[in-house]
């Protein structure tokens, strides 16, 4: 069966843990992996801007011995200049894997349907699984047993939040999500992760009080209030999220050892204060670095059979 990396929900606890272990191996000994994707070509097809995801997969491909081609939003105009299906079919004739960043998650699903090569979700409005794999690895590095810590996500219940929910509910962690009332995570996702949690023993909670959520937490994670594509809602969102800024007041409730996470890019002074972002407890730039190691693990897992086994 063709494997893709579209959502963490299609990965078992064992597979996610294997990907975390593979990321650790690649980070520790990159030289060992420098030829594992010799002669492969990876395409990066992005409909939105990117700094980390583009760099992680592009450079990651090169460091594994592969080539990379980046397609900017303007040059392909997928869905406008050409149908998504036709782009997928064409690229499959040239490339070995496509990393896709889209607005609508449906675009990724349509692309996958027509593609005969592996597809990686490099972010959609609904999910950001490559980010969260990197984050799980970062937490494993910093906190060791991820299942023993309380992680709090404060912010918008969209892509990053959904992937965190899938990740923690499958591996069996403790995740509390705090969003404004009208920005809760998708209802179906919440139902699904509750089912996953029954199997894994995870503790998942969704509430609307950031102060209460932060109590006794080991990790506070946030994301922008205005995601890419939502710019028109900017002023409405800034108003709605006002109480959800990660600042000293919220962190007073957390453990002294609590670490701060953010997928970046950050809007300093909106969802997070500069003081917190730059504090000694911030592991935000370690998170950014780990996107590279985890992107390499995803490519190796999808393209080299030696590393695909469960």
Question: Residue 78 gets which letter from DSSP?
Answer: B
The CA–CA distances, whole Å, from 142 to 96, 177, 282 equal 34, 21, 11
The CA-based angle 1-22-199, given to 5 degrees, is 65
d(CA 241, CA 225): 7
The answer to whether residues 78 and 91 touch, using CB atoms and an 8 Å cutoff, is: no
129, 223, 244, 287: residue in contact with ligand NVA (rule CB under 6 A): 223
154, 178, 220, 263: residue in contact with ligand NVA (rule CB under 6 A): 263
Can you give the binding site for ligand CP, defined by CB under 6 A?
50-53, 123, 131, 263-265
- The stretch near ligand NVA (CB under 6 A) out of 109-117, 158-166, 276-284, 295-303 is 158-166
Taking the CA atoms of residue 6, residue 10, residue 13 and residue 14 in that order, the dihedral angle to the nearest 10 degrees is: -90
CB of 103 to ligand NVA, least distance (A): 9
Residue 159: contacted member of ligand NVA, ligand CP, none (CB under 5 to 8 Å, by partner type): ligand NVA
Task: Establish if 266 lies at the interface with ligand NVA (CB under 6 A).
Answer: no
CB of 223 to ligand NVA, least distance (A): 5
CB of 134 to ligand CP, least distance (A): 9
Nearest to 301 by CA among 8, 90, 1, 3: 3
Beta carbon nearer to ligand NVA, 91 or 224: 224
16, 189, 224, 302: residue in contact with ligand NVA (rule CB under 6 A): 224
d(CA 104, CA 97): 20
Residues between 42 and 101 with contacts to ligand NVA, criterion CB under 6 A: none
- The count of other CB atoms within 10 Å of the CB of residue 238 is 14
The answer to whether residues 159 and 123 touch, using CB atoms and an 8 Å cutoff, is: yes
Task: Using CB under 6 A, count the residues that bind ligand NVA.
Answer: 9
- The stretch near ligand NVA (CB under 6 A) out of 79-87, 219-227, 283-291, 299-307 is 219-227
Task: Establish if 119 lies at the interface with ligand NVA (CB under 6 A).
Answer: no
Beta carbon nearer to ligand NVA, 231 or 310: 231
Beta carbon nearer to ligand NVA, 161 or 206: 161
d(CA 45, CA 123): 11
3 state DSSP class of 36: coil
Residue 51: contacted member of ligand NVA, ligand CP, none (CB under 5 to 8 Å, by partner type): ligand CP
Nearest to 125 by CA among 202, 29, 1, 227: 227
For 21, list phi and psi in degrees, rounded to 5.
Answer: -65, -40
- The stretch near ligand NVA (CB under 6 A) out of 60-68, 156-164, 187-195, 296-304 is 156-164
Q: What is the DSSP string of 238-258?
A: HHHTGGG-BSHHHHTTS-TT-
Beta carbon nearer to ligand NVA, 184 or 200: 184
What is the contact surface with ligand NVA in residues (CB under 6 A)? 123, 158-160, 223-224, 227-228, 263
């Amino acid at each position: 069966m063709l494997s893709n990396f579209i959502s963490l929900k299609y990965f078992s606890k064992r597979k996610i843990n294997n990907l975390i272990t593979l990321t650790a191996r690649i980070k520790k000994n990159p030289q060992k992996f420098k030829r594992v994707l010799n002669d492969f070509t990876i395409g990066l097809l992005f409909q939105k801007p990117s700094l980390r995801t583009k760099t992680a997969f592009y450079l990651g491909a090169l460091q594994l011995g592969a080539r990379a081609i980046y397609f900017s939003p303007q040059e392909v105009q997928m869905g406008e200049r050409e149908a998504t299906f036709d782009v997928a079919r064409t690229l499959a004739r040239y490339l070995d894997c496509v990393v896709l960043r889209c607005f609508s998650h449906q675009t990724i699903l349509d692309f996958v349907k027509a593609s005969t090569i592996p597809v990686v979700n490099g972010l959609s409005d609904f999910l950001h699984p490559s980010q969260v794999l990197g984050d799980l690895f970062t937490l494993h590095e910093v906190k060791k047993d991820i299942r023993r810590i309380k992680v709090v996500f404060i912010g918008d219940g969209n892509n990053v939040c959904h992937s965190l929910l899938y990740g923690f509910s499958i591996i069996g962690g403790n995740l509390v999500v705090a969003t404004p009332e009208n920005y809760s995570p998708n209802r179906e996702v919440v139902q699904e992760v509750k089912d996953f949690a029954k199997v894994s023993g995870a503790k998942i909670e969704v509430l609307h009080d950031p102060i209460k959520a932060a109590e006794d937490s080991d990790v506070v994670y946030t994301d922008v209030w205005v995601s890419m594509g939502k710019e028109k809602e900017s002023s409405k969102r800034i108003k709605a999220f006002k109480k959800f800024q990660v600042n000293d007041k919220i962190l007073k409730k957390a453990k002294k050892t609590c670490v701060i996470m953010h997928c970046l890019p950050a809007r300093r002074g909106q969802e997070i204060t500069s003081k917190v972002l730059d504090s000694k407890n911030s592991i935000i730039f370690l998170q950014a670095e780990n996107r590279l190691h985890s992107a390499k693990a995803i490519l190796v897992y999808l393209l080299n059979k030696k590393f695909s086994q469960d």
